[in-house]
Amino acid sequence: MAEATVSGRMESATIIANGFVLTCDAANRGGRFHLLVRDGRIADIAGSLESLTSQFPRAPLLDATGLLITPGFVNAHFHGDSFLHRERTAGRPFAAWNADRPFAAACARLAEPGAEEDLVAVYTAASLAHILCGTTTVGEYGPPVEARPFVAMLQAVDRTGLRAAYALQNWEQIRTAGDLGPGRPPCFLNLGNPSDFTVYTFENLVRTGREKGLPLLAHLGEQREEGEYIRKYYRKDPMAVLRDFGALAPGALVAHANHCTEAEVQLASEQGIPVAACPRSAALKQTGYPALRTLLERGVFLCLGTDWASTDMLEEMRFLARLPLLIPGMPEPRATDVVRMATLNGAYALGVAADTGSIERGKFADLLLFDLTDVRVPFVDDLPGATELAALLVHHLTVRNLSRVLVRGRTVVQKGEAVEARARDAASALRRAVDRAYPRKTGTGSPETPPRAKTKVIPFAGEPRTPEGEEGGFEEGARPAREEQPLRETPAEQTTPPQQQERRPSHLPELSKDVRRVFGDDDDTQE
By the 8 A CB rule, do 191 and 218 touch?
yes
Q: Best-predicted range by mean pLDDT among 132-136, 472-476, 523-527?
A: 132-136
Burial-class residue 81 by CB neighbours within 10 Å (0-12, 13-18, 19+).
buried
CATH topology of domain 73-349: TIM Barrel (3.20.20)
What DSSP line would sit under 308-326, residue for residue?
Answer: ES---HHHHHHHHHHGGGT
Which CATH entry fits the domain spanning 5-72+359-418: 3.20.20.140, 2.30.40.10, 3.40.50.720, 1.10.10.60? Answer: 2.30.40.10
CB 352 within 8 A of CB 140: no
The terminus-to-terminus CA distance of the chain in angstroms comes to: 70
Q: What is the mean pLDDT of residues 106-118?
A: 95
Q: Which residue ranges make up each domain of the chain?
A: 5-72+359-418, 73-349
CA angle, corner 224, sides to 218 and 229, nearest 5? 75
pLDDT tens, residue by residue, 138-193: 999 999 999 999 999 999 999 999 999 999 999 999 999 999 988 899 999 999 88
* Mean per-residue pLDDT, 451-471: 45
Average pLDDT, the chain: 84
Helix (H) and strand (E) counts for the chain? 19, 20
pLDDT band at 521 (very low <50, low <70, confident <90, very high): very low
Task: Say if CB 139 and CB 77 are below 8 A apart.
Answer: yes
The whole-number pLDDT of residue 451 equals: 61
Predicted local distance difference test score (pLDDT) of residue 71: 98
Q: What is the pLDDT of residue 422?
A: 81
Is residue 477 scored above 60 in pLDDT? no
CB contact set of 289 (below 8 Å; sequence gap of 6+): 258, 279, 282, 283, 471, 472, 473, 474, 476
